[in-house]
Amino acid sequence: MDKRIALVTGASRGIGAAIATVLAQDGFDLWLNYRSNHEAAERVKNEIEQTNAQCRLLPFDVSDSEATLSVLDPLIEKETPYVLVNNAGFTRDMLMIWMNQNDWKDVLSVTLDGFFQVTRAVIKGMLTKRRGRIINIVSTSGQSGMAGQVNYSAAKAGLIGATKALAAEVAKRNVLVNAVSPGFIETEMIKDIPKEKVLPMIPMQRFGTPEEVAAAVRFLCSDQASYITGQIIAVNGGVYM
């Protein structure tokens, strides 16, 4: 069998970078998407190549349909990724009363439009080959709701629903679709969160690491997860059960 490819979006840092690195360690070649942080993407690429995996950098904005297709279509004509990890996303936190139209639309567009556009581009090849794994990175915020994150909670809750619906559509073709739902993870996204207020809410009394999230993704991409689809795997220290 040809060496398998994993496409990871939003992978120049944080959780996405950790996922790309562990999949390279497991023998995947990487298509590493990011929007604009070329320096960070090059660092991840160098780390991946130290594992003897190949890494192709794909700079494009997943919320831009034209940009997404212009990059992916020529590649997909020749090769189909075995794994797609939809990780791209960002927060723009504030109470809804102060949220404007762009604050709402931009967060939903990256998470939901990005999922739709990238997944639609690769899924035809997966269905034709009758194999594939799609893992969507969601959030505890999309399961429980979070004050100050109406836009982000809506986006991630929508992605959870899309995960389950798509899993039902494609299971008979051996394409497995699951989600991993991180809680409070040590990344840039939580740098402004007051730890002293949040830690008492977490039964394990600590934040998680990107590597702990990546471990769940690694499992879902493995042969050991061959009968798992439509599931939401929480990596949250018990903050939401």
pLDDT band (50, 70, 90) for residue 3: confident
How many domains would you assign to the chain? 1
User: Is residue 241 in a domain?
Assistant: no
pLDDT band (50, 70, 90) for residue 86: very high
Residue 2 has what pLDDT? 65
Given the DSSP bridges, would you call strands 232-235 and 83-86 parallel, antiparallel or unpaired? Answer: unpaired
User: Is residue 11 in a domain?
Assistant: yes
* Contact assessment for residue 156 and residue 148, using Cβ atoms and an 8 Å cutoff: no
Residue 191 has what pLDDT? 75
Q: What is the pLDDT of residues 20-75, one digit of tens each?
A: 999 999 999 999 999 999 999 999 999 999 999 999 999 999 999 999 999 999 99
Query: Mean pLDDT over residues 160-178, rounded?
Result: 98
pLDDT band (50, 70, 90) for residue 131: very high
For residue 91, how many other CB atoms are within 10 A of its CB?
Answer: 18
Report which of 160, 202, 162, 199 is spatially closest to residue 180, judged by C-alpha positions.
160
Q: What is the pLDDT of residues 180-198, one digit of tens each?
A: 999 999 988 777 778 888 9
Residue 77 has what pLDDT? 95
User: Is residue 67 in a domain?
Assistant: yes
Q: How many residues belong to the chain?
A: 241
Active-site annotation, residues:
152
What span, in angstroms and rounded, lies between the C-alpha atoms of 46 and 41?
A: 9
Q: What is the CATH number of the domain that holds 69?
A: 3.40.50.720
For 156, the domain range is 5-235
Report which of 32, 20, 85 is spatially closest to residue 59, judged by C-alpha positions.
32
User: Is residue 25 in a domain?
Assistant: yes
CA distances from 179 to 161, 176, 220 (A): 10, 10, 9
Given the DSSP bridges, would you call strands 29-34 and 83-86 parallel, antiparallel or unpaired? Answer: unpaired
User: Is residue 115 in a domain?
Assistant: yes
117 pLDDT exceeds 60? yes
Query: Mean pLDDT over residues 220-226, rounded?
Result: 98
β-partners of residue 101 are none
Query: Mean pLDDT over residues 103-116, rounded?
Result: 98
User: Is residue 196 in a domain?
Assistant: yes
Helix, strand or coil, per DSSP, at residue 236: coil
